[in-house]
Amino acid sequence: MTSGRVLAIETSCDETAAAVVDGGRTVVSSVVSSQVDLHARYGGVVPELASRAHTELIVPVVTEALAGAGLDPQGRGERPVEAVAATVGPGLVGALLVGVSAAKALAMAWEVPFVGVNHLEGHLYASLLEDPDLEMPVAILLVSGGHTLLVSMEGPGRYEVVGRTRDDAAGEAFDKVARYLGLGYPGGPAIDRAARAGDPAAVALPRAWLEEGSLDFSFSGLKTAVVNHVRAHPEVATEDVAASFQRAVVDVLVAKALEAARRIGARGICLAGGVAANSELRERATAGGEAAGLRVFVPSRSMCTDNAAMIGAAGYFRLRGVGPSSLGTGAEPSLGMREPGATLG
Ligand code: KG4
Ligand code: ZN
């Protein structure tokens, strides 16, 4: 057995992914098979199609990840890894079950522990995987298609949620506005591209700062403001709307991430989740963080979007901090991060 190596599987949404991670910080191999093309014609992820595609892809993807790490999945009498981790939630139940079942089957066959991982916790490890010397505490802005969280991370396994969205997730707002503007799916990259050719000051849109001192977010009012503006001014250039919308989202995300870092005495700020692939967010967070004397960690785009390496890192630290999960653990589609004030066990 190679101590410290974890095989991780991620199937919570529309990516079938597997990775081998060493010591929670080194990616030995990572394979991501995206189903984006499969769902694009429907304008969103179709759960039934996602589960079916995961079922078809899981064996080849896991085999490729093991082979990439020089491990033989058929190796008799050998334990190729120390543990097998899989995302147990949040996500689509049918999709999650494919990864969880595969991980449990491998854990049983190899007689190693199974570790169930929270997908959101996984995203927090993106920066640590790319910068193993990351100095904590850090404020992490986790912005994905389903979640928007500001998290204070003091060390692996030690987090506190300090802000969250009260309605739509940031990525959901990008996807809905893109769909309304006819920019296609997935919406985030489409708005990012369109915004480059637009004027961010062209359309006056609201920023939801919420009550004084709040680190929470709200995006549904902004989405409605975009719709109302386009209805009233159908001649407006799509690029200008995209640029103005993106500016409004990024203004609030960056300001609140910097404020969170100040309050928790963070050494740095990190971006995580699919929306962290956004060009303007990456530039503004970098400039704002540096101006505030913080280290800024902006993971590569492929580490920001769903992958299994981040699940492997979270699984490794969970195994050491909390221990293995029961083989009776099932999928938990609405698993959340615990409420403010609590740490994630
Ligand atoms: O983390 P992720 O891959 O999956 C979830 O766990 O949700 O995030 C997907 C989200 C989608 O809403 C997508 O539109 C958004 O991330 N996204 C972006 C960009 N690339 C992906 N949003 C803004 N700009 C981008 N460049
Ligand atoms: Zn995600």
Tokens of 202: 């062209």
> Which residue CA neighbors atom 7 of ligand 1 most closely?
145
Q: Mean pLDDT for the chain?
A: 92
CA dist 258 and 271 (Å) reads: 12
CA dist 46 and 92 (Å) reads: 10
299 lines ligand 1 (CB under 6 A): no
Whether 91 shows a pLDDT value over 80: the answer reads: yes
Whether 259 shows a pLDDT value over 50: the answer reads: yes
| pLDDT tens-digit map of 11-51 | 998 899 999 999 999 999 999 988 777 777 777 788 888 88
| pLDDT at position 340 | 40
pLDDT bucket at 76, cuts 50 / 70 / 90 = low
Query: What separation in Å is there between the alpha carbon of 40 and the centre of ligand 1?
Result: 14
| pLDDT at position 79 | 80
275 lines ligand 1 (CB under 6 A): yes
54-68, 178-192, 325-339, range with the lowest pLDDT: 325-339
What homologous superfamily does CATH list for 135-303?
ATPase, nucleotide binding domain (3.30.420.40)
Residue whose token pair is 């449990």: 104
* Residues recorded for the chain: 345
Q: Phi and psi of 177, rounded to 5°?
A: -65, -40
Q: Which of 14, 15, 123, 174 to mutate to test the pocket of ligand 1 (most atoms within 8 A of CB)?
A: 174
192 lines ligand 1 (CB under 6 A): yes
CA dist 270 and 296 (Å) reads: 6
Q: Which atom of ligand 1 is nearest to the CA of 119?
A: 6
Tokens of 57: 């892809």
Strands (E), 264-315: 268-272, 295-297
317 lines ligand 1 (CB under 6 A): no
Q: Which atom of ligand 1 is nearest to the CA of 175?
A: 14
Contact (CB, 8 A) for 197 and 185: no
| pLDDT at position 339 | 42
Query: What separation in Å is there between the alpha carbon of 175 and the centre of ligand 2?
Result: 14
| pLDDT at position 338 | 62
274 lines ligand 1 (CB under 6 A): yes
CA dist 165 and 170 (Å) reads: 8
| pLDDT at position 326 | 95
Q: Which of 45, 140, 144 to mutate to test the pocket of ligand 1 (most atoms within 8 A of CB)?
A: 144
- Calculate mean pLDDT across residues 241-262: 98
| pLDDT at position 343 | 41
Query: What separation in Å is there between the alpha carbon of 247 and the centre of ligand 1?
Result: 16
Tokens of 215: 């680190």
Whether 235 shows a pLDDT value over 90: the answer reads: yes
Contact (CB, 8 A) for 271 and 299: yes
Query: What separation in Å is there between the alpha carbon of 172 and the centre of ligand 2?
Result: 12
pLDDT bucket at 133, cuts 50 / 70 / 90 = confident
| pLDDT tens-digit map of 160-201 | 999 999 999 999 999 999 999 999 888 999 999 999 999 999
Query: What separation in Å is there between the alpha carbon of 273 and the centre of ligand 1?
Result: 7
Q: Which of 13, 39, 175, 275 to mutate to test the pocket of ligand 1 (most atoms within 8 A of CB)?
A: 275
273 lines ligand 1 (CB under 6 A): yes
> Which residue CA neighbors atom 2 of ligand 1 most closely?
274
In CATH, the number for domain 5-124+305-321 is: 3.30.420.40
| pLDDT at position 41 | 75
Q: Quick one: which ligand is closest to 35's CA?
A: 1
Contact (CB, 8 A) for 267 and 136: yes
Return residue ranges of the chain for CATH 3.30.420.40.
5-124+305-321, 135-303
> Which residue CA neighbors atom 14 of ligand 1 most closely?
188
Whether 308 shows a pLDDT value over 80: the answer reads: yes
Q: Which residues contact 311 (CB under 8 A, 6 or more apart)?
A: 8, 9, 10, 17, 19, 85, 86, 87, 117, 119, 122
311 lines ligand 1 (CB under 6 A): no
- Calculate mean pLDDT across residues 255-276: 97
Closest alpha carbon to 252 in 129, 146, 184, 170: 170
CA dist 152 and 158 (Å) reads: 8
